[in-house]
Structure 1
Amino acid sequence: MEFILDTINLEEIRDGVDHMPIVGITSNPSIVKKTSPKDFFGHMRQVREIIGMSRCLHVQIVATKAEDMIAEAHTIFKEIDDQVYIKVPTSYEGVKAMKALKAEGANVTATAVYTTMQAYMALEAGADYLAPYFNRIANLGGDPVALISNVAKRIEEGHYDCKILAASFHALSQVEEALNAGSQAVTAPYGILKTVFANPNIDKAVNDFNSDWYDVYGQDTSICDLAKEQ
Structure 2
Amino acid sequence: MELFLDTAQVDEIREARDWGVLDGVTTNPSHVAASGRPFLEVVREICALVDGPVSAEVTATLADEMMEQGRLLSRVAPNVVVKVPATREGIKAIRQFSDEGISTNATLVFTPAQALLAAKAGATYVSPFVGRLDAIQHHGMELVEQIRRIHDNYSFPTKLLVAAVRHPDHVVEAALIGADAATLRLDVLRSLYEHPLVNIGLQQFLDDWARIPNAFRRYEL
- After TM superposition, the structure 1 stretch with the greater mean CA deviation from structure 2, 68-77 or 171-180, is 171-180
1:144, distance to aligned residue in structure 2 (A): 1.7
Q: 1:60 to 1:226 in 2, by over 3 A?
A: farther
Cα deviation for residue 142 of structure 1 reads 2.6
Q: Secondary structure at the match of 1:161?
A: coil
Which residue in the other structure is 2:4 paired with?
4
TM-score (norm 2): 0.93
SS at match of 1:21: coil
Q: Does 1:212 align with 2:208?
A: yes
- CA distance in 1: counterparts of 2:79 and 2:25, whole angstroms: 13
1:177, distance to aligned residue in structure 2 (A): 2.5
| 1:157 Cα deviation after fit | 2.4
**Structure 1 residue 205 displacement after superposition:** 1.7
Number of aligned residue pairs: 221
TM superposition shift of 1:25: 0.4
SS in 2 for 1:209: helix
Matched, 1:41 2:40: yes
Alpha-carbon spacing, 1:201–1:226, altered in 2? closer, same or farther (3 Å): farther
Letter in 1 for 2:159: K
8 Å CA contact 2:126, 2:161 repeated in 1: yes
1:71 matched residue in structure 2: 68
- Distance between the aligned counterparts of 1:226 and 1:192, measured in 2? 42
Mapped contact 2:105–2:123 kept (Cα < 8 A)? yes
Q: Secondary structure at the match of 2:59?
A: coil
- Equivalent in the alignment of 2:55: 58
Q: Is the 8 A contact 2:52 2:79 kept in 1?
A: no
The one-letter code sitting in structure 2 at the alignment partner of 1:145 is M
Work out the CA distance in 1 between the residues paired with 2:213 and 2:117. 63
Secondary structure, aligned partner of 1:58: strand
Taking only the aligned residue pairs, the percentage that are identical comes to 27
CA offsets 1:132-160 (integer angstroms, 9 cap, x no match) = 00011122333222211121122122111
CA contact (8 A) 1:59 1:87 kept: yes
- Residue 8 of structure 1: how far off its partner (Å): 1.4
State the secondary structure of the residue aligned to 1:166: strand
Looking at structure 2, the residues matched to 28 and 2 of structure 1 have their Cα atoms a distance apart, in angstroms, of: 19
**AA matched with 1:161:** P
TM-score (norm 1): 0.89
Please give the per-residue CA displacement for 1:201-221, whole angstroms capped at 9, x wherever unaligned: 212222222333333343xx5
Once the two structures are superposed, the pairs formed by residues 106-145 of structure 1 within 5 Å of their partners are 106-145=102-141
User: Please, which of 174, 178, 183 is the counterpart of residue 170 of structure 2?
Assistant: 174
Deviation of residue 181 (structure 1)?
2.8
Cα contact 1:146–1:181 (8 A) shared by 2 = no
Unaligned ranges ≥5, structure 2: none
Structure-2 change in CA distance of 1:158 and 1:226 (3 Å) = farther
Cα distance per residue 1:2-38 (max 9 Å; x no partner):
110001111110011101411000000111122121x
